[in-house]
Amino acid sequence: MQSVAAETSAVSDLENTYQLTAADRCDSCGAQAYIRVDMPSGGELLFCAHHGRKYQEKLSQVATGWHDESAKLNERP
């Protein structure tokens, strides 16, 4: 298990080190976020699994990165 600090400012190893936490909330409904979308502006959007899928078709055309941790929903702690 990795321990994830509240601040994830390191940008060197984005592929596997970035983890969404319970503190990350869906921008649409406020549920726990499982999907992070990197935008060309440098910003990011957070979505729950439901809204991630809902907006994926639209956002995937402009997003520069798509970080999906929704598989966690099927895991037991």
CA distances from 53 to 10, 27, 30, 49 (A): 27, 13, 15, 6
CB of 53 to Zn ion, least distance (A): 10
Neighbouring residues of 66: CB distance < 8 A, sequence distance ≥ 6: 35, 36, 37, 38, 56, 60
56 contacts Zn ion (rule: CB under 5 A): no
29 contacts Zn ion (rule: CB under 5 A): yes
CB of 21 to Zn ion, least distance (A): 16
20 contacts Zn ion (rule: CB under 5 A): no
Binding residue (CB under 5 A) for Zn ion from 20, 26, 35, 49 = 26
DSSP state, residue 32: B
Q: Which residues of the chain form contacts with Zn ion (CB under 5 A)? A: 26, 28-29, 31, 48, 51
